[in-house]
Amino acid sequence: MAATYRAYVITRPGGPEVLEARDLPVTEPGAGEIRVRIRACGLGSTDFIMLAGKYRFAPKLPIVGGYEIAGEVEAIGDGVKGFHIGQRVAALTVHGGFAEKITREARHFVPVPDGVSDIEAAGVVLNYVTAWQMIHRVAKVKAGATALVTAAAGGVGTALLQLLKLEGVKAYGTASSGKHELIRRLGGIPLDYRAGAIDRLVRAHEGRGVDAAFDAIGGANIASCIRAVRRGGSVVGYGFVAASSALSQARMFFDVFIGSRLRGRRGTFYGISLLYRKNPQPFLEDLPKIFALVASRKIEPVIAEVAPLADVRQALERLASGNLAGKIVLTCDETPRT
């Protein structure tokens, strides 16, 4: 085995250009830890917040980027039980995934079952657990309900549509017209967000409004989502890609928590990392449920693109363009050493 491994390090705040390829020393896992050879790593909008140096759950720079991984166990530290060499596992790493190897406490890893590929596993860790928990643990929507999903062609949006359909929920998804066929294929009813205010588009179909809205965008979108939901319904904000400043973030959180309640709706903000830090158990319970759905082909992760780890900068640029539907997954083969 090589004495070093390749990793892509965030050296300073910025965009994809600040990622620097470095060879880091391979270390042996300590007590309670395992070392995993990474086979696949997912990309998402959170990576851009990490690159900008604004992600509250990341260590100080420099750090290795990469929020979610799938791979195989290659070394086990003292006291670790329930894992074996060669076992396929996945984890919500938050950072450290843009690399050929990662060493972490074993308690963070979940076995990947047969029938789920490395690419699929890496593609569902963040997006599908986020969607599952917002549906079942936050909004608690049931069969026969109606829902609105903004940014429905994105990674979490496509996951929401599939899981809502599986639950028997009628879902409306906002996207540009070129992505409407995908929305239909995933079981949603497409709405072109450029055709008018979201609440008006929704209420043209659902006069009373929908039972729940899942909004990834934030900004002025939140107020429209609140109006699209019936009184007593739920508005769940997550991601908030439109939060470009501290002031806009503060306004959005006010709209979610206060504005929604003033209008008779239940508003909340969902953040998977915040919940995981408080109590990882729900995540460790829910990821195997997602893997089981993938293995049984009840859901199929929407993978927009698969690229090698060495192309991480270019892949992030393509993700930032907003032209892709679904998830980008990076695959990782160890770089030959000379």
Among residues 270, 288, 319, the one where a domain terminates is 270
CB of 157 closer than 8 Å to CB of 165: no
Amino acid in position 289: K
Residues 70 and 196 in one domain: no
Structure tokens at 221: 């979108």
Centre a 10 Å sphere on the Cβ of residue 334 and count the other Cβ atoms it contains: 14
Band (pLDDT 50/70/90 cuts) for residue 45 is: confident
Distances (CA, A) of 202 to 5, 174, 206, 268, 317: 50, 10, 6, 20, 32
When divided into structural domains, the chain yields a total of 2
- The 10s digit of each residue's pLDDT in 269-328 is 898 988 999 999 999 999 999 999 999 999 999 999 999 999 999 999 999 888 888 899
**Would the pTM count as exceeding 0.85?**
yes
Determine, yes or no, domain membership for 336: no
**What is the CB-side half-sphere exposure of residue 174 using CA atoms within 13 A?**
24
What CATH number does residue 194 fall under? 3.40.50.720
Q: How far apart are CA 306 and CA 309, in angstroms?
A: 10
* Residue 35 CA neighbour count, 13 Å, CB half: 15
* pLDDT tier, 216 (very low <50, low <70, confident <90, very high otherwise): confident
Are 232 and 327 in the same domain? no
CA–CA separation, 124 and 118 (whole Å): 10
Residues 204 and 217 in one domain: yes
Q: What is the DSSP string of 150-208?
A: SSTTSHHHHHHHHHHHHHT-EEEEEE-GGGHHHHHHTT-EEEEGGGS-HHHHHHTT-TT
What are residue 74's phi and psi, to 5 degrees? -125, -10
pLDDT in tens, 173-210: 999 999 999 999 999 999 998 898 999 999 999 999 99
Q: Say if residue 118 is in the same domain as residue 220.
A: no
Residue 338 lies in a domain: no
Q: How far apart are CA 299 and CA 106, in angstroms?
A: 28
- Do 137 and 114 fall within a single domain? no
User: Concatenated DSSP letters for 45-90?
Assistant: THHHHHHTT--TTSPSSSEE--SEEEEEEEEE-TT--S--TT-EEE
* Structural domain includes residue 337: no
Tell the burial category of 338 from Cβ atoms under 10 Å away from its Cβ (0-12, 13-18, 19+).
exposed
Do 243 and 283 lie in a common domain?
A: no
Contact predicate 93/68, CB 8 Å: yes
Domain that holds residue 286: 4-125+279-331
pLDDT above 70 (res 242)? no
Considering only CA atoms, which of 169, 147, 112, 324 is closest in space to residue 236? 147
Phi, psi of 142 (to 5 degrees): -120, 170
For CA atoms 204, 208, 214, 215, give the dihedral sign.
Answer: positive
Question: Is residue 193, in this structure, part of any structural domain at all?
Answer: yes
Q: Any idea what the CATH number is for the domain that residue 26 is in? A: 3.90.180.10
